[in-house]
Amino acid sequence: MAAGYELRCRECGKRFENAPLSICDECFSPLEVQCDLDAARKTFTREAIAAGPSSMWRYQALLPVPEHYKPTTPAGWTPLIEAPRLAQRIGARNLWIKNDAVCLPTLSFKDRVVAVALANAKVFGFDTVGCSSTGNLANAVAADAARLGLKTYILVPADLEPAKILNTQVYGATLVRIDGNYDHVNRLCSQIADRYNWGFVNVNLRPYYAEGSKTVGFEIAEQLGWRLPDNVVVPMAGGSLITKIRKAFKELIALGLVEDKPVRFFGAQATGCSPISTAVKTGADAIEPQRPATIARSLAIGNPADGVYAARAIRDSGGWAEDVSDVEIVSAIQELAETEGIFTETAGGVTTAVTARLYAHGRIHLDELTVSCITGNGLKTTDVLEGAYEQHAAIRPRLSDFENYLAEASEENELVVERVSSLG
Amino acid sequence: MSVRVLLPNAFQKHTNGAREIESNAANLPQLITEIETNFPALKTHLRDEQGQVRRFINFYVNEEDIRFLGNDKYAFQDGDEVLVIPSIAGGSSAESGTPSAGSGESRRGVCCCCSYCGQEECICGD
């Protein structure tokens, strides 16, 4: 393996030289990057990693980029924090949050995958890149392409949240709104990538792109002091992230950086778009496509590319998948913000609500070390909280007015307490 | 009656570079047979060892997934545009749906590889 990594068909095993290619020409199945672990063994050590940059690039030896690649974007290395107040609220004792709501530069975990994809776009000599996106990927591609001086065509469903559209256009990207859902957009991108010599991060660069997600798993292990958690709860859209966290853990075990132990993987979806959780719950081998109808638009992929692999990773690990309603998603966004000071987008609401349900149903034991993966920032989906909070009338800048305000607020609280106790 | 069928780049190695065909097929099974007759080299790649169309190959009619239209039962209309797209969305096929018993044998044809080692039979201790 000359470059330290190559492509391999996930089904028939055929090997390919590195190229902007995502489909096997023999069996038309997806390709996957395989890193040369023996070559990485010398450089991928705890000491070398600790001496590396405070970004996902500290794991460069296990990412598919050229040996002397100089990264331009310090994505990743986001906080892993203990969440005792949320834990108390939902009946857990050892709950942690991997907080990619503050991943740089565009506040979602997509910055990780794009960093790897565009590094390869440069290697392959593309001057134009693009993606199909439910929003976060659009933001990440637009920002990183601006930094690398690449032209962009970014295709999104027309009904995307306004903040995600603005956060793409501000970087000078060409945004193409498509009258359809994500699955329509993705299919069109596949045709465009066949026709034009452009690098689409989640089409012809997909095998490289997907490897960037491994860094979530590497970071969780390192931040826990080089050990693996008991459980991981991961939101699922295309289903790639959960399989790549698993792959990261396996690579760390293979290289002797962590002790081997069983880790259970739990997938989270919105009920309005739950093809993977449905497959897990019914024990089905195949993913039945759905027409998405949920406020969690970043997870609204009705025909998930990695759905079968995600379902298998969950089943094989002894985990489970759950899906939650739009009402539960909004409540969970508020709960996470109120207890831990983390404002996540709808996908994070999905993950938090599913985490709570997994404890409630006894699928996760309260003492087990559990990591809930928050993948995006709430500032991008503020529309779902519209009308959630009443604004009182403004008061004059006088202490007496403030005291009146406090007295009124206290009376209101008492009324609420009375109402609640009379109900109870 | 005829429909226009757009083939993906991944097929071209087996179709002498042909990117689209006109077809008189009445439905999906007829269309697949016709594609295989026109491009015999494609046949062994289009189907798995059990003779089923590989599950990573998706068919769309005028922007709609054919599975939402009745799949094999959908009768092509004159002027339909049929897209054949592999892999962007995997995991489903017309013939699928048998619950897994979890054994290696039952997994075959569903998800054969380990996402880590890439092998059909995992070699990394999974």
Overall average pLDDT of the A54-74 stretch: 94
Query: Over 90: is that where the pLDDT of A183 sits?
Result: no
CA atoms of A392 and A394, how far apart (whole Å): 6
Lowest mean pLDDT segment, chosen from A23-27, A211-215, A247-251 = A23-27
**Chain A 247-266, residues with CB within 8 Å of chain B CB atoms:** 247, 250-251, 254, 260
Tell me the pLDDT band of A259, cut-offs 50, 70 and 90: very high
Our CA-based measurement puts residue B60 at a distance from the nearest CA of chain A, in whole angstroms, of: 9
Mean pLDDT of A326-343: 98
pLDDT on residue B54: 84
Give contacts of B6 with chain A, Cβ < 8 Å: 191
Task: Mark whether B28 and B67 lie in a shared domain.
Answer: yes
Question: CA–CA separation, A103 vs A122, rounded Å?
Answer: 23
B88 and B116 belong to one structural domain? no
CA distance A215 to A56: 6
B62 touching A (Cβ < 8 Å) = no
Flag whether pLDDT at A391 surpasses 90: no
**Pair (B33, B78) in one structural domain:** yes
pLDDT of A271-309, one tens digit each? 999 999 999 999 998 899 999 999 999 999 998 989 999
pLDDT at B100 over 90: no
Distance set, CA A132 to CA A123, A201, B88 (Å): 21, 8, 11
- What are the pLDDT digits (tens) for A19-48? 999 999 988 888 999 999 988 998 899 999
Q: What's the mean pLDDT in A146-175?
A: 94
Residue A150 binned pLDDT confidence (cut-offs 50, 70, 90): very high
pLDDT at B103 over 50: no
Is the pLDDT assigned to residue B117 strictly greater than 90? Answer: no
How far apart CA B110 and CA A146 sit, in angstroms, is 40
Inter-chain contact A286–B110, Cβ cutoff 8 Å? yes
**Closest Cβ opposite residue B99 in set A10, A244, A284:** A284
User: Which B residues in the span 95-124 are in contact with A, Cβ-Cβ below 8 Å?
Assistant: 96-100, 102, 106-107, 110-113, 115-120, 124
- Is residue A364 scored above 90 in pLDDT? yes
For residue A361, CA distances in Å to A91, A232, A263, A323, A354 come to 11, 16, 19, 13, 10
Mean pLDDT of A170-176: 97
The answer to whether residue B29 neighbours chain A at the CB level (below 8 Å) is no
Range in A52-56, A291-295, A384-388, A407-411 with the lowest mean pLDDT = A407-411
Q: Which two tokens stand for residue A108?
A: 């979602």
Q: B75 and B117: one domain?
A: no
Question: Does B81 lie in the same domain as B22?
Answer: yes
Residue B108 pLDDT grade (very low, low, confident, very high; cuts 50, 70, 90) = very low
Integer Cα distance of B19 and A173 in angstroms: 30
Checking if the pLDDT of A94 tops 90, the result is yes
More confident residue, A391 or A51: A51
Of B6, B88, B111, the CB nearest to A309: B111
Q: Which residue has the tokens 């179709």?
A: B15
Same domain, residue pair B65 and B8: yes
Task: Spell out where A57-167 has E strands.
Answer: 80-82, 95-99, 128-132, 151-157
Burial B23-60 (b: 16+ CB within 10 A, else e): bebeebeebbeebbeebeebeebbbbeeeebbbbbbbb
pLDDT the model gives residue A423: 64
Q: Do residues B89 and B126 both lie within one domain?
A: no
pLDDT band per the 50, 70, 90 thresholds, residue B81: very high
Cα A280 to Cα A308: distance, rounded to the nearest angstrom: 9
Residue tagged 């660069």 (tokens): A205
Task: State mean pLDDT over A56-83.
Answer: 95
Shared domain check, B34 and B70 = yes
Indicate whether B84 and B108 sit together in one domain: no
Q: Does the pLDDT of residue B101 top 50, yes or no? A: no
pLDDT digits (tens, 9 = 90+) for B13-57: 899 989 999 999 999 999 999 999 999 989 888 888 888 888 888
- What is the structure's pLDDT at B114? 53
**pLDDT higher than threshold 80 for residue B95:** no
pLDDT given at position A1:
60
Beta strands in A133-178 (DSSP E): 151-157, 174-178
Exposure of B104 in the CB half-sphere (CA atoms within 13 A): 7
Best mutation target among A1, A26, A28 (most B Cβ atoms within 10 Å) is A28
3-state SS class at A209: helix
Q: Which residues of chain B neighbour A307 with C-beta distances below 8 Å? A: 89-91
Stretch B79-91: mean pLDDT = 74
The whole-number pLDDT of residue A121 equals: 97
Position B94 pLDDT exceeds 80: no
Integer CA distances (angstroms), A119 to A60, A154, A261, in order: 12, 18, 33
What's the total number of domains in chain B? 2
Q: Tell me the pLDDT of chain A averaged across its residues.
A: 94
**pLDDT, position A65:** 96
Is the pLDDT at A201 greater than 60? The verdict is yes
Identify whether residues B59 and B107 lie together within a single domain.
Answer: no
Can you give the pLDDT at residue A17?
96
Note down the domain range covering B76: 3-95
Q: What percent of chain A has pLDDT over 90?
A: 84
Question: Looking at the DSSP assignment, which residues form a beta bridge with residue A132?
Answer: A155
Q: Quick one: average pLDDT of A331-345?
A: 98
Q: Tokens for A412?
A: 């209101």
pLDDT at residue A2 greater than cutoff 60: no
User: Would the CB atoms of A9 and B119 count as touching at under 8 Å?
Assistant: no
The helix-helix angle for A307-317 and A275-282 (nearest 10°) equals 40
> For position A159, what pLDDT does the model report?
87
B88 and B121 together in one domain? no
- Give the residue from B48, B49, B53, B50 showing the smallest Cα distance to B35: B53
SS3 A409: helix
Range A70-94 average pLDDT: 96
Closest chain A CA to residue B90: A305
Give chain A positions within 8 Å (CB) of B110: 285-286, 308, 312
pTM for this entry = 0.90
CATH, residue B18: 3.10.20.30
Per the CB < 8 Å rule, is B92 touching A285?
no
Q: Measure Cα distances from A403 to A89, A396, A411 in Å.
A: 32, 11, 12
Same domain membership, residue B87 and residue B58: yes
pLDDT of B119 above 60 = no
Size of interface A-B (CB pairs under 8 A): 150
- For the cut 90, the answer to whether the pLDDT of residue A109 exceeds it is yes
Query: For residue B47, what pLDDT is reported?
Result: 87
Distance, in angstroms, between A126 CA and closest chain B CA?
A: 18
Q: Does A180 touch chain B (CB under 8 A)?
A: yes
The encoded tokens of residue A395 equal 């008061």
Q: Is A16 on the interface with B (CB under 8 A)?
A: no
- Structural domains of chain A, with CATH: 80-107+213-385 (3.40.50.1100), 110-212 (3.40.50.1100), 393-424 (no CATH)
What SS3 state is found at B124?
A: coil
d(Cα A152, Cα A168) in Å, to the nearest integer?
10
